Amino acid sequence: MYNSSNQPLINLAWHHPHTGQRRMMSAALPVTIGRAADNSIPLDSKFVSAHHVRLEERQGEVFVIDMGSRNSVRLNNNDVSDESVVFHGDQLQIGPFTFSLEIPENSSVLAGPATQLLPTSQIQRVAKMTAHAAVTPVLPHQQPLIRDTGTADFPPAIFRKKIVPVDMLTRIVGEQIEETSYLAIGGGLGSFVWVDHLMVYGVKRQDIVSIGFEPKPYGRYRRLCRNSQIPDHERLRSNSDSCPDNLWGWPGYAVREIWDNTSHGRLGQAARIGWQIFNEPLVQTYTPKAGVVFDSIDQEAARIGWDKIWRHGRVRAVRKTDDGRYVVAYSLIKPDGSTEHKLILAQFVHLAVGYPGVRFLSDLQEYREKTGDFHHVVNAYEKHDEVYDHLEQYGGTVLIRGRGIVASRIIQRIQEARERSGRDIRIIHLMRSPNTEGQKAGLAQRAVDNHWEFQPFNWPKAAWGGDLRKKLENANTKTRAELLDQWGGTTTADRLDWRDMVREGLTAGWYSIYFGTVLDVRPHKKTGQIATKVMQNHGEVALAVADYIVDATGLEAGIEGNALLKDLVTHYDLPRNGKGRLKVTNDFALIDMDNGRGQIYASGISTLGGPFAAVDSFLGLQYAALRSVDNLTAQNAPGLRRLNGLRSLNQWTRWARGVQP
Amino acid sequence: MTPTLRGRWQSRLFLMGTLGFLVTIFFMIVFGSIAPFYLLVLVTVLGFFWDIVYTLIQKWRWDHDWPPAFQLGAGIWEMIVLAALVYGADIIGMAPRPDQFLLHYSAVWLAVFAGSQSLMRLVFPRWRYNGGQWLS
C-alpha cells in the first residue's frame, strides 16, 4: 500500500459531528488537518484551528504533532502536548471530530529493521508489530483486563486523581489488577541494563516486567545507528568497558576482540588491538564494532530471559496509588497488531524512554514543511540511504550542517561513495563560526584540527568515573548545567582516518567549509536544487546550492517530546533540573515521585543535567542502574542482596559461564 | 582509567597487600631472603607520594585520565627511583642481586597492573565509577 512516490499511507475515518455522515480517507503522510482550505483534511468548525495537527512518519513511527493550535488535540482521551506517537487503532480527537486511525498493511511507515529480515508474506496487518511477534512468538501470559472497544476511556478517568485509590480502581475494572515488584518502562537499552542489574543482585525474573516497542533492547538504537551510517561492522563511539551486557565492564570489548582474533589464529589483528588499547587515547581510542555489542546483548538477553520479561506495548500514564505503589496504564500490542488496554500495579518503576525524536534545524524544518520535500533535506538519524545511492549513480553536492560525530561519519560515507563510484561528489560543510581554539577547563584544553574539535567520547573521561564525576555529583543544580556546558559541546572522535579524510578533501577541493548564519533555505529556481542563503561572517551574503542537505545536528532530547514524561511532569508538577529535564537524586530516583515504599527511578537522556554527565551512554545507563539498584538494596527492596566481594565474583563467573544469574 | 588520589591510594594499598604480597612471598621463598618484603613496603610507601604527583599530571589532560601507557611509564620511573634508593643510598641495608630485584619488581608490577584491570572490577563493582576507591 504505497502511493506512486512510495510514501507511507494512513487511513482516517470520522463522523461529521452534526450530520453524522461517515467519512473515510486514505492519505499519504504527512497529513495536515485544520480549518484552513490548504489542509489535507479541511474541517469546518470554529473549534478547529486553521492548522491544527499534522501526522507524519519518523523512523518507522507515525507521530501526531500539535501545530500550536489554540484548541486541544486529544489522543485516546489524553491531551497531546506538542506531539505523540500514534498506533493503529488510536482515536484522535480534534474539536468535535473523532478520527479512527488505521495504519494499513505493508505501509512503509512500519518497516523497521526487524521487518526486513522476514519474507513479505509474513508481514501482515501491521507490519512492524507482526514482525516483532514473529521474532518473539510467545507473549507473557496475561488476563485481559479492559476490553478495548476503541472508544473506552483510557487511561480511566480515575487517573485524573493525584493518588489513585486501588480499591476503587479494582471496582471500576471489575477484575484483579496484575501486580509486579519491578516495572521497567521503555523496554530499550536503559530498561535492559536496569533489569540486568536487578537480576544480578538477586531479583527473580517473574518479579520484573518491562514494557516497550522493540523486542530487541537495542532495536531503536540500532536503527538510529544504521540511519546515521553506522552498520553493524562499523565502530561506535563507545568505550571498551562500557558493556550493556556486563555489569562489571570486564572483560571489555577490546579484550573480547583480542580473544576472538587469537582463537581464530589472527594473531596480528589481536596484537594490533592490544597495542591500540595500551596506547589509548594517545594514538587512537579503541571503540567496539556495533554488531559485536548487539550480539553480546542478545547473549545476555538470553541469559536473563528477557523475552519473558518484555511486553510489546506503549505506556500511557503512571500514577501514585494510595497503598504506596504505582498504577501504570498501557496499551498492549498483540501479535495481530490490535491493542488492548491494560493496567498493572508496581512497587518500583524505572523510566528509560530514550530520545523522543529527531531534531531539525528550524530553517530546514520550515523548508520541509513548505515544500513537502522529505527526500533532499534529511536528518542524519532518518533513513536516508537513497541519498548515497543517488550520489553514487549521478554525483552531486551535499550540504552538511553540524560538526559532531554524526557529521564525521556522514562525510566518511560520502567519501566512500566517491571512491566507489568515481563520480563527482562534493561536500559543502556549513558551520556557524570558525573554531581554532579548543574548549578549556581548568588546566586542560581540547585539540582542534581544521575547525573540528576532538575528544574521545562526548564528555571528558573523568566525568564517567573519576574526579569530574564527583565534582558534578557534588555541584548544585546551576553549577551542574554550567559544568556540562564546559565539558560537552560539539566534538568528534579523534580518528586518524577522519582527520586524513578532512585534510585530503580540503586539499583536493571536494570538501569545503563555509562559515555563516543561514538566512533561508528554498528551492533553487534555475537548477531545481536547494539554495541556502548564508550571511557569511565577513558580512557578505552567499548562496550555497546543493542537491541534498543533511542535518547532522542531533536528536531531540527535551522531555516535552515524550507524551508519558510530559504527562507525569505536568500531573505531579515535578521539578526540573538545570537542563530542563527530570530532576533526580544522586541515586537517580525521581524527586517528588516517591510514594510510601514506592520509588520511581529514571535513566538516560531524560536525566541530563543531573548528577552524571554521560547519561545517554552505555556506561551512563550502567552507572544509573548500579546507583538505583544499590539504593533499592539499601531500602530492603524485595529479592535484592548487596553485591560486593564474593557475591559479585560469583555472579561474574555465572556471567562468564553463560548461566542465568 | 581515571583514578582520583584517594582511589589511587586505596587501590595501591589493596593490590600491594594482596597480589603484590602473594608474589613477594613466592620470591622470598625462592630467593631465601626477606629483602623482597622490605622492597614491597618501600615501593608502597613511596607510591603514596608518587600518587600525588600523578594526580596533578592528570589535571593537565583534558580527560583527566591515566592511560595504560602512563601506568607502564610510572612503573619504570618508580623502579628507577627505588633502585637508586636501594643500591645508591642502601636504604634497606640489604641490597638484593640486581637480577632478583628486577624479576621481583616486574612480577609485582605485572600482577598489580593485571589486577587493576580485572580483579578490582569483579570484586568491587563500584570501583570503576569511584576513581579507584573500593572503600566508600
More confident residue, A360 or A591: A591
CB contact under 8 A, A249 and B123: no
Indicate yes or no: CB of A466 within 8 angstroms of CB of B121: no
Q: Name the residue facing B122 among A445, A468, A652 (closest C-beta).
A: A652
Q: Are A551 and A384 in contact (CB under 8 A)?
A: no
Residue A389: partners with Cβ closer than 8 Å, 6 or more residues away: none
Determine, yes or no, domain membership for A263. no
CB contact under 8 A, B2 and A445: no
Between β-strands A326-333 and A425-431, what pairing exists: parallel, antiparallel or unpaired?
unpaired
Do A326 and A345 meet the contact criterion of CB atoms below 8 Å apart? yes
Check residue A580 and give its pLDDT. 95
Nearest one of A461, A400, A354, A9 to A229, comparing CA atoms: A400
Q: Return the pLDDT at A144.
A: 34
In a domain, A379, yes or no: yes
Report which of A530, A551, A546 is spatially closest to residue A360, judged by C-alpha positions.
A551
CATH code where residue A100 lies: 2.60.200.20
Angstrom distance (rounded) from CA A85 to CA A312: 15
pLDDT of res. A6: 55
Q: Residue A462: its chain B contacts at CB < 8 A?
A: 2, 58, 63-65, 131
Question: How confident is the model at residue A102, as a pLDDT?
Answer: 78
Write out pLDDT tens, residues A291-342. 999 999 999 999 999 999 999 999 999 999 999 999 999 999 888 878 889 9
User: Is residue B46 one of the residues assigned to a domain?
Assistant: yes
- Chain A nearest-CA residue for B56: A443
A639 in the same domain as A571 = yes
How far A446 CA lies from chain B's nearest CA (Å)?
6
Beta carbons of B60 and A470 less than 8 Å apart:
no
Say if the Cβ atoms of B67 and A281 lie within 8 Å: yes
Q: By CA distance, what is A648's nearest residue in B? A: B123
Same domain for A301 and A313, yes or no, is yes
Chain B residues within 8 A of A472 when measuring between CB atoms = none
Those residues of chain B whose CB sits closer than 8 Å to some CB in chain A are 2-4, 7, 58-65, 67-69, 72, 117-118, 121-126, 128-131
Domain that holds residue A372: 359-436+491-555
Rounded CA gap, A73 and A95, in Å? 8
The answer to whether residues A639 and A595 belong to one domain is yes
Which chain B residue's Cα is nearest to A456? B63
Q: Contact, A639 vs A204, CB < 8 A?
A: yes
Q: SS3 of A383, please?
A: coil
Q: How close is the nearest chain A Cα to the Cα of B110, in Å?
A: 14
Same domain for A551 and A655? no
Residue A471 lies in a domain: no
Question: Does B61 sit within 8 Å of A466, measured CB to CB?
Answer: no
A372 and A498 both lie in a single domain: yes
Whether residue B134 lies inside any domain: the answer is: no
Q: Do A470 and B131 touch (CB under 8 A)?
A: yes
According to the model, what pLDDT value does residue A39 have? Answer: 87
The per-residue pLDDT for range A413-454, each reduced to its tens digit, is: 999 999 999 999 999 999 999 999 999 988 899 999 999 999
A350 and A360 Cβ atoms separated by less than 8 Å:
no
Strand residue runs (E) in A203-290 = 208-212
Chain B interface test: which of A461, A629, A653 (most B C-beta within 10 Å): A461
A335 domain residue, yes or no:
yes
- pLDDT tens-digit readout, B75-129: 999 999 999 999 999 988 888 999 999 999 999 999 999 999 999 999 999 999 9
For chain B, how many structural domains are there in total?
A: 1
Cβ–Cβ < 8 Å for A25, A11? yes
pLDDT value at residue A331:
92
Cβ within 8 Å, pair A464-B129 = yes
pLDDT range class, residue A7, cuts 50, 70, 90: low
Among A500, A530, A555, residue at a domain's last position: A555
| CATH number of the domain to which A496 belongs | 3.50.50.60
Residue ending a domain, among A537, A555, A573, is A555
Note whether A418 and A525 are same-domain residues.
Answer: yes
Burial B68-89 (b: 16+ CB within 10 A, else e): bebbeebbeebbeebeebbeee
% of chain A residues with pLDDT over 90: 65
Closest CB from B2, B61, B122 relative to A465: B2
Q: Which residues of B touch A447 (CB under 8 A)?
A: 62
Q: Chain B residues with CB inside 8 Å of A652's CB?
A: 122
CA distance B117 to chain A (A): 8
- Whether residue A281 lies inside any domain: the answer is no
Q: Do B64 and A445 touch (CB under 8 A)?
A: no
Judge contact between A208 and A306, C-beta under 8 A. Answer: no
pLDDT at A114 exceeding the cut of 50: no
Range with lowest mean pLDDT among A101-105, A239-243, B12-16? A101-105
Same domain, A34 and A182: no
Q: In terms of domains, do A202 and A313 share one? A: yes
Give the domain extent around B109: 5-123
Q: Which residues of A touch B (CB under 8 A)?
A: 241, 247-251, 277-282, 438, 441-447, 455-456, 460-462, 464-470, 623, 626, 630, 643-645, 648-649, 652
Mean of pLDDT over chain A: 87
Contacts of A631 in chain B (CB under 8 A): none
The pLDDT of residue A152 is above 70 = no
Q: How far is B123 from chain A (nearest CA, A)?
A: 4
In-domain check, residue A308? yes
Mutation target to probe the A interface, by most A beta carbons within 10 A, among B11, B113, B126, B129 is B129
Residue A133 has pLDDT above 80, yes or no: no
Q: Which member of B64, B68, B123 has the closest CB to residue A462?
A: B64
pLDDT at site A51:
86
Contact A136, A310 (CB under 8 A): yes
pLDDT of residue A119: 28
User: Exposed/middle/buried for A264, CB within 10 Å: 0-12, 13-18, 19+?
Assistant: exposed
Residues of chain B contacting A468 with CB distance shorter than 8 Å:
2, 64
Q: What is the ipTM of this complex?
A: 0.96
Give yes or no: residues A406 and A536 share one domain: yes
Whether residues B69 and A278 touch (CB distance < 8 A) is answered with yes
* Cβ distance of A277 and B2 shorter than 8 Å: no
DSSP A490: S
3-state class of A345 per DSSP? strand
Average pLDDT over residues A20-47: 83
Looking at the structure, tell me whether residues A87 and A124 fall in a common domain: no
A-chain CB neighbours of B3 within 8 Å are 466
Q: Tens of pLDDT along A189-237? A: 999 999 999 999 999 999 999 999 899 999 999 999 999 999 999 999 9
Please report, in angstroms and rounded to a whole number, the separation of the first and last CA atoms in chain B.
18
With beta carbons under 8 A apart, name residues in chain A contacting B64: 444, 460-462, 466-468
Say whether B65 and A626 touch across the interface (CB within 8 A): no
- Establish if A430 belongs to a structural domain: yes
Residue A462 and residue B121: Cβ atoms within 8 Å?
A: no
pLDDT digits (tens, 9 = 90+) for B8-23: 999 999 999 999 999 9
With 70 as the cut, is the pLDDT of residue A100 above it?
Answer: yes
Residue A374 pLDDT = 84
Q: A146: which DSSP letter? A: B
Q: How far is A435 from chain B (nearest CA, A)?
A: 17
Output A179 or A556, whichever has higher pLDDT. A179
Q: How many helices (H) and strands (E) in chain B? A: 6, 0
* Chain B positions in Cβ-Cβ contact with residue A277 (cut-off 8 Å): 68
* Domain membership flag for residue A244: no
Which amino acid is present at B55? T
Split into its structural domains, chain A has a count of 3
Residues A475 and A78: their CA atoms lie apart, in Å, by: 38
Looking at residue A42, its pLDDT comes to 87
User: Which candidate, A88, A62, A64, places its Cα nearest to that of A78?
Assistant: A64
- Same structural domain, A527 and A572: no
Residue B130 lies in a domain: no
In 3D, which of A572, A369, A579, A603 has the Cα closest to residue A484? A579
Phi, psi at A10, each rounded to 5°: -140, 145
Specify if B91 maps to a domain: yes
How many Å lie between the alpha carbon of A516 and the closest alpha carbon of chain B? 29
A602 and A542, same structural domain? no
